[in-house]
């Protein structure tokens, strides 16, 4: 049985509980991070903690503890659950309080939960060789997508629409431009230039995105951070996504239209390789 961390305790998962009055449960008043584990080590930890602090600050919450203390919990769970490859999920909510739209007193104890999910073959995912197919859907999420809240119902609906259409994911479109995938950032490659939407409140500022763009620049690849349309994506040479759990994953079809050759492209393959190599080196 897995060991789960809840508010200072390491518990068997069937004893890990939070209050029905938790604001994460009642109002989605909580933020989260998902960090991957390769070879038993944590990938891009600093980036995830920085973003956690930012998400909390945007919602008027403090960090529940120091980055060092958070790292200790991550490592303890990896050890206790013997995770070689997998994910660590972290959630911080505003805590339990009488149901009221107004935030409770600032000294209300936050709820801090972490758990692991073993995922053998994360780095060696077969889909990296075959590529994924996506459909497009309108982006109907709220306007502060840069805050990583647990308010994930629309992305879940998007995943189900993709599943029903027999594909792997959905790219969301707003005002004629692609924002991002349901749980990943979206990219196209045209004439050797990597194009991905600029940062703003419309997308999540992916930790993998930041690293991949830095590696692309180091490798002398051209990068443009700007909005792109679905038509542009369908006419691109390549497409791919990034996220903490998929790293870099090629996209080979959008709304039934093959992208480029319809096979995973060389830019995505190269970036995946660089990202995995560099991340493994920097893992903690
Ligand atoms: N965009 C959305 C909407 C996400 O949910 C995620 C990850 O969960 C990402 C992008 C990718 O972010 P990261 O690379 O930090 O995992």
Mean pLDDT of the chain: 98
Q: What is the pLDDT of residue 180?
A: 98
> Based on the domain organization, do 161 and 47 belong to the same domain?
no
Whether the model clears a pTM of 0.95, i.e. scores above it, the answer is yes
How far does residue 105's CA lie from ligand 1's centre (Å)? 31
Q: Whose CA is nearest to atom 9 of ligand 1?
A: 184
Q: What is the pLDDT of residue 152?
A: 98
E runs forming strands in the chain: 3-6, 9-12, 30-38, 41-42, 86-93, 111-118, 132-138, 169-174, 177-181, 185-190, 193-196, 222-225, 238-243, 247-254, 257-258
Q: Which amino acids bring their CB within 6 angstroms of ligand 1? A: 34, 180, 183-185, 204, 206-209, 242-244
Domain extent for 13: 3-118
> Based on the domain organization, do 101 and 172 belong to the same domain?
no
Mutate to test the pocket of ligand 1, among 43, 184, 276, 279 (most ligand atoms within 8 A of CB): 184
pLDDT in tens, 200-228: 999 999 999 999 999 999 999 999 999 99
Q: How many domains does the chain have?
A: 2
- pLDDT-flagged residues of the chain (< 50): none
pLDDT in tens, 107-158: 999 999 999 999 999 999 999 999 999 999 999 999 999 999 999 999 999 9
Q: Whose CA is nearest to atom 1 of ligand 1?
A: 184
> Based on the domain organization, do 163 and 263 belong to the same domain?
yes
How far does residue 246's CA lie from ligand 1's centre (Å)? 10
> Based on the domain organization, do 270 and 253 belong to the same domain?
yes
Q: What is the pLDDT of residue 195?
A: 98
Which CATH number characterizes residue 79's domain?
3.30.470.10
Alpha-carbon distance of 171 to 120, in angstroms, equals: 26
Q: What is the pLDDT of residue 256?
A: 98
Which CATH number characterizes residue 218's domain?
3.20.10.10
Cβ partners under 8 Å of residue 124, min gap 6: none
């Amino acid at each position: 049985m897995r060991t789960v961390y809840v508010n200072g305790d390491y518990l068997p998962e069937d004893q890990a509980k939070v209050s029905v009055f938790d604001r994460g449960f009642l109002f989605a008043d909580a933020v989260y991070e998902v960090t991957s584990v390769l070879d038993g080590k944590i990938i891009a930890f600093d980036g995830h903690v920085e973003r956690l602090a930012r998400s909390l600050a945007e919602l008027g919450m403090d960090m529940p503890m120091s980055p060092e203390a958070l790292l200790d919990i991550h490592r303890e769970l990896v050890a206790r659950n013997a995770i070689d490859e997998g994910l660590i999920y972290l959630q911080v909510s505003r805590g339990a309080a009488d149901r009221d739209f107004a935030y409770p007193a600032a000294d209300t104890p936050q709820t801090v939960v972490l758990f692991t999910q073993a995922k053998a073959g994360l780095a060696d995912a077969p889909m990296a060789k075959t590529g994924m197919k996506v459909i497009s859907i309108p982006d109907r999420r709220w306007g502060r997508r840069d805050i990583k809240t647990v308010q994930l119902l629309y992305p879940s609906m998007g995943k189900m629409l993709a599943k029903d259409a027999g594909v792997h994911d959905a790219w969301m479109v707003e005002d004629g431009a692609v924002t991002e995938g349901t749980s990943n950032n979206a990219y196209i490659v045209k004439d050797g230039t990597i194009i991905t939407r600029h940062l703003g409140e419309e997308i999540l500022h992916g930790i993998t995105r930041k690293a991949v763009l830095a590696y692309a620049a180091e490798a002398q690849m051209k990068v443009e951070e700007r909005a792109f349309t679905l038509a542009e994506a369908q006419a691109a040479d390549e497409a791919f996504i990034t996220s903490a759990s998929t790293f870099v994953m090629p996209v080979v079809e959008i709304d039934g239209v093959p992208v480029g050759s319809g096979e995973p492209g060389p830019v995505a393959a190269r970036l995946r390789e660089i990202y995995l190599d560099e991340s493994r080196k920097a893992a903690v």
